[in-house]
């Protein structure tokens, strides 16, 4: 970045260094697997608008994408879901929750989002060096969908709060996870003030899913593995690839137990697109192979017929907007 390596730099620190005053430039050099030469791009920093939650209705299947977990995420999720119910005339058949490339954010919002679909039980816990410092967060007793079939989409860019939500929904067998393994950011940082108006960010605990799995370094493995493209190597950098990472330990298991409640269609879902699948375009949901397979699974769970393959799909619509400073 601007001639300086950020290899091994924590994700939040790298993002902090990339951010800056609007209209200033930053040069990034990217190294990608299967690309012989580094790719150099120059970006202009701007104030950008982030749609925290986007929604779309595909036949009778609702789709909600969460871009990040900030102060308004749970509120905008509810607003987006209510909009989908109205659009479907109160007859939603199922829901796809898209957490792909969501870097996470606030823990309390991860708990609130999880609690929107899980009626009871643990959502997430932390275990610290001293047992008295460990904590647990439970669901609030409400499922806004009243038990509708759910699929959650994840990939290597799903981190932190995204992994808390997907891990909770998977452990409670509330949703089927589809995509590729998540990032593996399962550590808790605490800010400790020090004299002289300073502070130290110290890793103090690990996050654990309801079944006792540590998210750290391992991430969340989907129930149905589906790659985005045939050439997709997955994210080239995950938490486990960083230097001096906190090891995964302390949990009662390292991966989810094999599920026995997956729909029959799970056995025939391909793990990659066919050779003639069109190149992915963000504004064309029909080119999103993971989304299409997720919709296919939800329809099967809901007992709905397959849609007309020649029908065009509606674009995503923002459920809300919020401003934040970021690189563009």
- Residue 297, classed as helix, strand or coil, is helix
The tokens describing 78, both together, are 């509810």
| Chain centroid offset of residue 284 CA | 20
Q: 241 to each of 217, 235, 237, 238, how far by Cα in Å? A: 8, 11, 6, 5
CA distance 77 to 61: 16
Packed helices 161-171 and 107-115: angle between N→C axes, nearest 10 degrees:
30
Tokens of 245: 């990472």
d(CA 149, CA 298): 6
DSSP 157-212: T--THHHHHHHHHHHTT-SEEEES------EEEEEEEETTTEEEEEEEEEEE-TTS
Terminal CA-CA length for the chain: 15
Catalytically active residues, by annotation = 160, 171, 185
Q: In the chain, where do the E strands start and end?
A: 25-30, 39-44, 46-50, 53-58, 61-66, 94-98, 122-128, 135-138, 150-154, 176-179, 187-194, 198-208, 224-225, 317-318, 322-326
């Amino acid at each position: 970045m601007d001639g300086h390596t950020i290899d091994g730099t924590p994700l939040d620190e790298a993002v902090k260094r990339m951010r800056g005053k609007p209209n200033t430039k930053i040069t990034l050099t990217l190294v990608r697997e299967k690309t012989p030469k580094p790719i150099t791009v120059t970006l202009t920093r701007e104030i950008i608008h982030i749609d925290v939650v986007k929604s779309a209705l595909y036949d009778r299947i609702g789709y909600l994408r969460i871009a990040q977990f900030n102060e308004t995420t749970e509120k905008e999720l509810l607003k987006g879901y209510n909009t989908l119910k109205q659009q479907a005339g109160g007859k939603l058949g199922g829901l796809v929750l898209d957490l792909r490339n969501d870097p996470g954010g606030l823990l309390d919002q991860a708990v609130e989002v999880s609690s929107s679909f899980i009626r009871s039980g643990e959502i997430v816990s932390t275990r610290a060096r001293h047992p008295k410092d460990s904590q647990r967060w439970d669901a609030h007793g409400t499922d806004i969908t009243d038990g509708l079939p759910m699929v959650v989409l994840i990939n290597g860019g799903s981190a932190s709060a995204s992994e808390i939500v997907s891990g909770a929904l998977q452990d409670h067998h509330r949703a089927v996870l589809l995509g590729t393994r998540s990032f593996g950011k399962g550590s808790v940082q605490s800010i400790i003030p020090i004299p002289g108006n300073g502070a130290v960010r110290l890793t103090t605990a690990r996050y654990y899913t309801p079944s006792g799995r540590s998210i750290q370094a391992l991430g969340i493995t989907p129930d149905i593995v589906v790659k985005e493209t045939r050439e997709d190597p997955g994210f080239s950098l995950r938490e486990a690839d960083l230097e001096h990472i906190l090891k995964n330990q302390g949990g009662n298991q390292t991966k989810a137990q094999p599920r026995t409640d997956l729909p029959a269609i799970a056995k025939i879902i391909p793990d990659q697109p066919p050779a003639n699948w069109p190149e992915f375009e963000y504004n064309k949901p029909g080119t999103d192979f993971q989304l299409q397979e997720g919709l296919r699974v939800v329809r099967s769970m809901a007992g709905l017929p397959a849609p007309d393959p020649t029908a065009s799909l509606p674009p995503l619509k923002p459920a809300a907007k919020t401003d934040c400073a970021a690189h563009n």
